[in-house]
Structure formats: C-alpha cells, structure tokens
Amino acid sequence: MLGVVSLATPLAASGQQAGSPSQVDPLDLPRPELRALRITEPIELDGVLTEEAWSRAEATDSHWIQIGPDAGFPSSEATVVRVLYDDDALYFGADLYDPDPASLISAGLDPEYDTASSDLLSVALDTFRDRSNGFVFAINPAGAVFDAQAFNDQRDVSRSWEGIVEVETRVHEDRWTLEMRIPLSTLRYDPSPGEQVWGLNFSRRIRRRNEDSYWAALPRQFRVYKFSLAGALTGLEGLEGGRNLWVKPAALVTSRDGRSVRDPGTDGDIGLDVKWGLTPGLTLDVTLNTDFSQVEVDQEQVNLDRFSLFFPELRDFFLENEGIFGFQDVQIRNYRTGSSNRSFRLFNSRRIGLGPDRRPVPILGGARLTGRAAGLELGFLGMRTRAVDPVDDGALGLPAEDFAVGRVKAPVGERGSVGAMWVHRSERASGANVTNRAYGVDANLQFLGNLVVNAYAARTGGDDGSPDSAVSEGNRDAAMLQLAWRDPLWNTSILLKHVGDAFDPAVGFVDRRGVRRLFATFGAHPRPTGIPGVLEVNPYVDVDVYTNLDGVEETRRVTPGLQVTTRDGGSLVFELRDRYERVLEPFPIAGTEVPVGAFDFTEWSARYTVPASHALSGRLSLTRGGFYDGDRTSIGVALLYRPNPHWQVSAGAQRNELDFGGRAFTANLYDARVRYAHDTRTFASLFTQYNEAADELVVNARLNLIHAPLSDLFVVFTERRRLSTDLDAGIGKGRIERGITLKLTRLLAF
C-alpha cells in the first residue's frame, strides 16, 4: 500500500527550488537518464499503477522544462514516468497531475487523432541510439495511441507506421494515469549481450494552456523526436531477438461500376502481407495481390498555377519506413526553407499502382527490404503491376510494368548522412523495351547545432523503345544546395536549385522543369513581453526567383510577411506578394486560358487560425489582388467541431472569384467530413467533396473495426459523379465510378 500512496502524490524531489522558478537554457542542462527495472511478475494493464513493481522502479523528475508558452521554465504541472521490462515487452507507467481533469482535451479515439489538438504524453525511443532515428508514441487521456517512425533527427516523420501497442488510461480527481505495454517484437534493436542504452525522451502537452514540456529539455524550435538531444534509458539487459515474423492475410469482395471502371462487376480476391525481421536491423516486407481500397480518397485541389499538383501518398505499404527512401527537397519543421517534398522527389511511390489520372492500377505484388546493416541505412523495393485496358471515358490503357528502387545512406557524425539512390521503371509489353532510370547522390548534414545543409545531384535516362534507343534531348540533370539556420530567435535560409528541361524521373515527382531557382528568407521570432495574449511575433521576408536555363527570369515573388502567435495557440498571418510571371505558352486555369506575355501584379493575404483547444476551431483565409492580366479574390474557410472524443464534424469551402483572359468566373471547392469513434477500436467516417470546376461530387464512406491488434474489418463505399453535361468536351453527366468493398485482415505474429 505504501507504494500506491507514493505514486498518488507528486514527488517532492521535483527539481524546483522554493520561490519563483527561474528560466534556463535547455542546452545548458545535462541529458537525463532513467533506469528501467526488470520484472518477473505480471503487469495488469488497467490504467492504475497498483502493482508493487511500479513503486520499486526509478522515476523521472516531476517538473520538466517547457518549450512553450514559457520556454525554459519548469512545467506548470508534475509528470512522473517509470519504465519496467521483462522478456517480452517494455512497460511505461505515468502519473500526469492536473488540478482540473474535467478540462482535459482528447482530440479523438482513433490512431490518427490530431496530436496538436490534444492533451497527451509522448514517448520517443531511439532503440539503436544512433541519435537520428526511432519510434514515437503519443497517448491522450482517452487512451488513443498515435505511433510513428522518425528519421534524420526530426526532419522526416512517417505518421502511418503502425506497431502493436497496448494502452489503458484512467482519469482521477487530481491527475490522469496511463499504462502502456510495447512488445519487444514491435521495435527493432540490437540484441547483443550485456546492458543496452537507448535514446529516450518524454513530452507532455496541456492543450488548454498551449503548454509543451520535455523531460530531456529542448530549445523551442525542436520536438520530442530530436534524438540527438535525447536522454538515455539504461538498465536494459538480456534482450533477445525473436523471429519477428508477422503474416497478415486479407480477403476482400468488391463491386464496381461506372463509365471509368475498367472491369465492372463483383469479384473476390485474397492477398497476403508478410513482415519478417531478418536481422535486428533489417526488415523484409512482401505483398501479394495488393489492395488499397480502404484508403481514403484524395483531397480535391484547384490548380491556380501552370505547374503540376502534388498528391500525397496514403497507402500504408509505401509509407512505412518511407524516410529511408527520401531523396527530395526538404521541409524541416520550424525552419523556413522555401522547399518541400511536394516540389521534388526522385522517388514518388504514387507512381506505382496509380495511373496519371489517379485511378488504381492493379499491383501483382512486391517486396521491400529496409533497415540497417554494417553501419548503413538500406532500402530496396521491387514491385510489379498488371496491364489495364482503356475505358469508355477516354482513359488510356496502361502496360504491365516493373519497378525497382535501391537506397543506401551512411551516417556522417551524429547528425548527418550521405546517400545514393537508383530508380528503374520498365514496361513488360511484348517486344517493348521502354525503360526509365533515375539516380543520384545526396547529403543531409548539421553543424553548430542549428545549421542544416541539404544537397543532392541527380540524373535521368532511359530507352524509349525506338530502334536507335533515342532518349529525350536536353539537360537531364537536377541539383540543389540549401543552407538553413534556426535558433530560438533567428530563422534564415538560402536555396539554389537546377532542374534540366529533360530531367524526367518516371517514378518521381517534379513540379517544374527547365529552371534555375534562388530562394532566400530572413526572419525573427521574438517573444515580446507586455502585449496581452501575444506569445510570439514573427516578421520575415522571402525572395523567390526562377529563371530558365539561359538565365531569363520567368517567375519572381518578393513576400514580406508577419505572423502573430497567441498564447492559446492561435495565429494571425499577413503577407504582401509582389509577383512577376513570364508565360511562354498559353495554359488553362479552370477552363480559361492564360495568354502568352509578361505579367506584373501584387496580391495580399491574411489568415487566422482558431486554437485547437476550443470545441469549435478552424481557419479563415483571404487573398485579394492581381492575377496575370486580371484579378482574383480567394476566400477559404475550414471549421472543425469536436464536442467530445467520439465525434468530429468538419466543413470547408474555398471560393475563387477569377477575372482574367477576358472572362469572369468562379472555381470553388466544398467538402464536409463526419467522423465517429465508438471506442479505440471502432470507427466510421463520411467524406464528401464537390469540385465546381470539374462539376464532380465525390463521396467516400468507411467503417473500420479493429478486431485484433493490427487486424481490421473495412467496409468502404466510394462514388464519383459528374452533375452536368459538357457538350464541348463530350462529357456526359452521371456516375463516373462507384465501388463497394468489404475487406478483412488478420495479423498472425510469430
């Protein structure tokens, strides 16, 4: 009983001295250590730390260091975490004290809940202690678990990674508590004899106060998966490596019809996914008769530019360990870089199993080997797709294809890496010899704690199947160099980029070819005192210039801006953009042609975000000003109502009033979504979108029952319908496609 009583009160040894707490520099504090306790007795996961083993385990200090809103000060509430382990699993037990538990916010019950909008405890584990990569688990008071993999010292996060994790939580009068069990088979680690030391950090979010605090203190520009600054988990001994073999068979029945459906009717199929930990560091994934029908449909977008839109990957098989395959422009959290992986990717997995029109292409199967060996990070992928026939609405048929990707990265110091990648795509049509290849080298380095250097050089080539094996004439190279600095006050970067006019990665994504780019930004993040409700003021100026390969300017944007962040997590952003666009060939926007010419115009925008701590939150944006040879006004509204952890209702609208090319018209998008979670295992959602420019209505409904760990029952309905007839384009109204799928999976772990 004594142990239970000691867990029910905050520890006196909190690290705070009497009187007013003082502010500290997180980098001046030593990295903390926590010793795990080996146990032989069972732990019952009930959200109450009543087992005697919890009282024997070493505990964290109770008051951690804030990253915000009062950076460098002790947390406002106590948090105490302990760690146990046995031959099969790690156990985390935590008391999170709060004088007003009724005000706790849980932003959902499903694994994809919005962590930024929720109270939570996060656990970050660097199991190889390479100070760069690891696992993240975030638990809210309702017991929902968000899990992810983090790569490259917080530069990349794969939110769709899933592991077997068991959690129970309980809300008391003065705190909330949790117990979490992570099977060792969920993790990857080195089972060498002797004691192991893993990287470890914890963070706690108190949403109503917009407060984040860390066990291993961090500067405010970083997050819990900044493994180079993590603490240490010690005391782990005798961890043996298991077979780590997961087999997941799947059975599905699908009924599809509509004029764009290549094979209408009802049929059934079976598939199989296998995950095998070949070594502690290498994992083999195999998929057969792959089906992604349970994946939610793409978010519709209106393209108000002449360059390609990027649609993100949503399919789990490609998302797990995707950070290893990242050869791309880099977007680093809290760094203002001007770059994004939505601009350039040497490997973009959406080019596998999805046609140019975003329609599914059947995947026969594939395999992927990822992980580390001999001090290197490795990734190899091979996929094969089936041929598809053309359909009545004019969509072209596609040949059967093979895809192969190879990736290797070597660490440089504790915070950097250099790597190489090779990507190959080939048709399997009879007598054809159509291939495409892309290859390159890249570097991601960090110096002086805050200076990030990213660079790559790549080339493409191939065989178009003609007798003389001709390839595209022109420059087939791409290269980028980026330097970015971010500390608690200053934020600045510069980027130089070249993309040849014939650079064509057929399994990649490039938004713009035949250009050279210069981007530079300079900004500050002071936190003034004496302004009620204001946490931070961020003035900045961006300069973004594109020229063609001959040095002739094609695009110029000069953008001074100001962002004001409030103490409750809201923000207000103002921007003024001076733009220049040189159009060499006419192109359409929503059916209206932008003519050839040089255009100077100015636009301004404002955006307000309501903090997620409110039951009703959202975002309002307004853009007004010139648009090529005319004007535009764009208004965006996104609202989210979350009355409790079970229900989420959201609605959005984007209204674009355009007047250019001698024509005034609108190009609007509308969407609405309802999500219901009965508990942490049963979810339902309904998502509808209307694209006015295409006059298409999309409906997607999903029911998901998690009947066992990582085992699902899905019922999915999707319909895409055109609401009018376009005689000029020869497109009639009616159903474009409709599908109903029942899918059952079962994970078998060995």
What local confidence, expressed as pLDDT, does residue 185 receive?
A: 85
Burial status of residue 562 (CB atoms within 10 A of its CB: 0-12, 13-18, 19 or more) = middle
Q: Can you tell me the distance from the alpha carbon of 162 to that of 248, in angstroms, rounded to the nearest whole number? A: 13
* Residue with the larger pLDDT of the pair 14 and 159: 159
Over residues 457-490, the pLDDT tens digits come to 999 998 765 544 444 578 999 999 999 999 889 9
Q: Supply the pLDDT for residue 621.
A: 96
pLDDT at 563: 96
pLDDT band at 20 (very low <50, low <70, confident <90, very high): low
Domains of the chain: 2-236 (2.60.40.1190), 303-525 (no CATH), 532-538+550-642 (no CATH)
- Which range, of 202-211, 545-554, 662-671, averages the lowest pLDDT? 662-671
**What does the pLDDT look like over 492-504, one tens digit per residue?**
999 999 999 999 9
DSSP secondary structure, 457-523, as one string: EEEEEEEESSTT-----S--EEEEEEEEEE-SSEEEEEEEEEE-TT---TTSEES--SEEEEEEEEE
**pLDDT class of 750 with cuts at 50, 70, 90:** confident
CA dist 460 and 474 (Å) reads: 11
385 vs 408, higher pLDDT: 408
Which pLDDT value is given to residue 17? 36
* pLDDT exceeds cutoff 70 at 4: no
* Surface-to-core class of residue 102, CB atoms within 10 Å of its CB (0-12 exposed, 13-18 middle, 19+ buried): exposed
Q: Which residues, at least 6 apart from 137, have a Cβ–Cβ distance to it below 8 Å?
A: 122, 123, 125, 145, 146, 147, 165, 180, 182
* Average confidence score pLDDT of the chain: 86
Separation of CA 333 from chain center: 11
Residue 241: the pLDDT is: 67
3-state secondary structure 659-681: EECCEEEECCEEEEEEEEEEECC
pLDDT at 13: 34
55-104 residue pLDDT tens: 999 999 989 999 989 989 999 999 999 999 999 999 999 999 999 999 99
For residue 358, name the pLDDT band (cuts at 50, 70, 90): low
pLDDT confidence of 16, banded at 50, 70, 90? very low
Q: Which of 8-17, 437-446, 600-609 has the lowest mean pLDDT?
A: 8-17
The pLDDT assigned to 307 comes to: 53
**Is residue 313's pLDDT more than 90?**
no
Mean pLDDT of 554-569: 94
Percent of the chain with pLDDT over 90: 51
pLDDT band at residue 662 under the 50/70/90 scheme? confident
